[in-house]
Amino acid sequence: MEFVDRELKCIDCGAEFVFTAGEQAFFHERQLTNDPKHCKQCTATLAAEQKAAIAHRWHDTLKESYVLQLMLDLRERQEREKRGGSVQPLHRH
């Protein structure tokens, strides 16, 4: 199948960009039937934003599990105190 360069318009910034024959072949190979909707600049921006969002979420997850661990440590300590046993110092990580 032959591909020719096509001019497309970015739905974000309205800039015209070339959907090259090579890119079309790439899309075709992967059975992607939709044309790209963003220029290279916007695609790069979107990708960066997505990456940042994922990194941010991951950071939140780490923070949550850290807080959870602290709460568990505290509860364990309180349980031990309630039982009246000797209080062991919290183990350090």
Torsional class of 14: left (φ above 0), alpha (ψ -120 to 50), beta (otherwise): left
Q: Does the protein bind Zn ion through residue 12 (CB under 5 A)?
A: yes
Q: Which is nearer to Zn ion, 37 or 57 (CB)?
A: 37
Instruction: Report CA torsion sign: 18, 23, 28, 33.
Output: negative
Q: In angstroms, give the least distance from the CB of 23 to Zn ion.
A: 15
Q: Are 59 and 32 in contact (CB under 8 A)?
A: no
Which of 10, 19, 27, 77 touches Zn ion by CB under 5 A? 10
Q: Which is nearer to Zn ion, 24 or 39 (CB)?
A: 39
Binding site for Zn ion (CB under 5 A): 10, 12-13, 15, 39, 42
